[in-house]
Structure 1
């Protein structure tokens, strides 16, 4: 069993390179001890964790965020897949041998390994421009921070790996406390903020930027302010500061039309702070979501090329969360389709936000937008409200999201009027929560929003009751975290202990 933790923490990462940032191909059979000699070598090494992010966002992250929330469910599962249904249904027992939970863990630590490889090797390499060396370090730390931010929200306490490890070192690691992981995340992002450029030439579009580091820091501080750390007002203030620095950066602006955000010909827009880059027609560089999200038994009514997997289907509650005439709904999802074979309507919901025509099966051009300005606007508004300050400013930024939506393709005239001043902080926060839900639907934000605001119990109990017709098993806060994968515990039982409740 010891091989599993070695796989997660010590496996040698493949490197990637080609002339363009997205055109990444593995360098196979490369000896890590002799490869890292030049600036070009290190640039190739930095590309490796970017490539690794694709494995994380392809599917696994969606399972532990959107499907865990009240936004999506499975419209089809193969056989009796408890690995799927136990993530989606709180009434099912989520076991520690769940394959998707293990996939997230292993792919995340593989990504961290690739980041650490850069950081361990780079100081020995001579650079003509010292700033470029610091930039490469900052890129690795940005990706490491992003990956740890996912890990700590999914599992809680996790091993803190900041360098390449020997076998003995790997087996000496236990789970670091959650506050310690957040300290590492903040330190990495602070370094990234100090050393990343504001932008890149077109050939390097998609690499981590100063704005991306600030935007992620704002999100991290908001999370630290809420559950489980509950650091409160001081951290809402930190989030406010970082969000405002992004907002005041003229490099970023809301795109005028919501539909443009998800147009595969207009990727990395003025609204984008960080996107995971995909490109169809390469070697494992395309994105699968158009196929994965399509109803299993649909034909070319939904997807023109490739299979349909029937997962991440919108729930009735997210469908009804959109106000009548809100164009974000028709851009993001559909309540069904008309069968070509029968001519009849099929009432099966599916996500449309990631539409493209595949180059081949599950090989699409969509990027995954991890951070964007609308998210930052809403976090900024929430941070102000939670501090009890500048309610008019918070209202203004909340309404900017509404204004963009009502001026987007497909909007019905007269809908989505501006919010008026709220009579209570609670009502204001619920309005922000609602706008976050519909604006950022199917983008992996909803579950973590519910956790940090301590709304998960109320919302998910209601959701499960509506879906199943009966109340789920009694709620407990153990459900806010996923189990540590059984294979990881078996690899190192002396040091790696299970989360409560599993």
Structure 2
């Protein structure tokens, strides 16, 4: 992936031409068009780079944070909105669950993901037309699987946010082909799962250093397992079928012996352990600006707490802090769950030790003004860079994990438990607890206890990683849990975003 992101993409790949040929028209024989671009393996790799370019909305310097994080993090009981965020009506609407179809954040999120899908369909269609003289058959099949993975991934992200989506299975070559109806949710799941299944067929197990970050067969199996697990939560009549499919896919990753949990939890998020032993799939950013490259963003300024000079857009909720503390100081060194200290900055002796100042060389009290309400502020530490210089920089390019082995293990434990293999599930939970939290084994051994423990672990493990809202929805606990934690306005009708107005206005098949 490091190699791919530096390849220049010809803008003409996304263009249409409606002009008729006539004797006055002059054509440049060396001008690239969508008809003559796909000449060899290098061109195919360039097309694949464009397909990766829209991952996680990392397409715009400011928009990366301002689209991704409000859409994915605000609808959660683990966060509270920061003071500055009240200045942005569309952000506030997401937080308060009163989004309308003209909301700019959800519209951008929709559009960016569909542009990613558009690129993947171009890759798939043009690869199919390339001959063995143009590209080696094995490489061709590998890239086809890779494109299926990305297309499945983009559709999956959309289906988590919208009840129905437009399934784009081909690149539209005319305006009429852009008009397509929304598909029923079951058809969407079928499509996504099929794409991930196709991806498992020819993707490699690993890449060389120049291509690290590209989707491997293990990433495809991990997302295949996740898609089936999430579908099981929505379709109780066929849940067992999907749990079994999820088990089979996740078992491939666990059985590969290709991954291990990273002992230093925060290192996976602060740039000191990128593409770690735990990384199954990771957004590749970079601080390298050679030859005009620019893959770094100011998202740390959006995320970092006000006390550290951040923009005050988001903070940890009281519920999140209490959930971390729920088991008490049972870690091996007498502290709370270690993930707490590596996820949040909060008023605690750990952060107020003047002999070992852990908040960028200072204590919590040094940074937060005790004469103001900021003293009670719980700010996120996750995703902030490790060094003070990087914290103060205008932008930075540390990677962001998208699928970690910890998620694979906890999803695997969940499907095992739901299939009645509870005793087999518990060791996977304890593995995550021991390595990331320095915690003792969980208590309880029945199915209900394991379910409750998995919910607790997913809160502590994946806070700020965008899973909480969707976990609650698939567990059927969204309304009651959000209401219990002071988040009102969530009803059955607001579990999903409305179709953006821009899509309704431009697509004749959507009313």
How high is the TM-score relative to the length of structure 2?
Answer: 0.83
1:348 correspondence with 2:377: yes
1:435 correspondence with 2:457: yes
1:326 correspondence with 2:337: yes
Q: CA deviation at 1:22?
A: 4.0
1:148-187 equivalences under 5 Å are 148-187=155-194
How high is the TM-score relative to the length of structure 1?
Answer: 0.84
> Residues 108 and 421 (structure 1 numbering): CA distance in 2 closer, same or farther, change over 3 Å?
same
Q: CA deviation at 1:449?
A: 0.7
- Decide which of 44, 47, 53 is 1:45's aligned counterpart: 47
1:290 correspondence with 2:300: yes
Secondary structure of the residue aligned to 1:369 is strand
1:378 correspondence with 2:378: no
CA offsets 1:193-242 (integer angstroms, 9 cap, x no match): 00100000100000000100000011000011012676311111111111
Distance 1:290 1:329 in 2: 19
Instruction: Show the counterpart of 1:397.
Output: 428
Distance 1:176 1:229 in 2: 20
CA offsets 1:70-126 (integer angstroms, 9 cap, x no match): 112321235543311121124xx2211111110111001000001111111112223
1:72 correspondence with 2:74: no
1:368 correspondence with 2:400: yes
Q: CA deviation at 1:26?
A: 4.5
Secondary structure of the residue aligned to 1:101 is helix
- Decide which of 78, 97, 105 is 2:102's aligned counterpart: 97
Instruction: Show the counterpart of 2:316.
Output: 314
Secondary structure of the residue aligned to 1:231 is helix
Instruction: Show the counterpart of 1:116.
Output: 121
Q: CA deviation at 1:269?
A: 1.2
1:422 correspondence with 2:456: no
1:438-457 equivalences under 5 Å are 438-457=460-479
CA offsets 1:162-210 (integer angstroms, 9 cap, x no match): 1111334335311011111111111111111001000001000000001
Distance 1:459 1:232 in 2: 23
Greater gyration radius: 2
Distance 2:183 2:120 in 1: 19
Instruction: Show the counterpart of 1:14.
Output: none
8 Å CA contact 1:21, 1:205 repeated in 2: no
In the alignment of these two chains, the number of paired residues is 452
1:461 correspondence with 2:468: no
1:181-196 equivalences under 5 Å are 181-196=188-203
Distance 1:352 1:21 in 2: 30
CA offsets 1:30-77 (integer angstroms, 9 cap, x no match): 532222111101111101121211525933333233210111232123
Distance 2:261 2:403 in 1: 13
8 Å CA contact 2:472, 2:478 repeated in 1: yes
8 Å CA contact 1:281, 1:363 repeated in 2: no
For structure 1, list consecutive stretches of 5 or more residues without a partner in the other structure: 1-16, 408-415, 466-471, 498-502
> Residues 281 and 361 (structure 1 numbering): CA distance in 2 closer, same or farther, change over 3 Å?
farther
Secondary structure of the residue aligned to 2:84 is coil
> Residues 349 and 132 (structure 1 numbering): CA distance in 2 closer, same or farther, change over 3 Å?
same
1:21 correspondence with 2:4: yes
Distance 2:455 2:205 in 1: 30
8 Å CA contact 1:279, 1:286 repeated in 2: yes
Secondary structure of the residue aligned to 2:486 is helix
8 Å CA contact 1:56, 1:108 repeated in 2: no
Bigger shift: residues 169-178 or 237-246: 169-178
Secondary structure of the residue aligned to 1:65 is helix
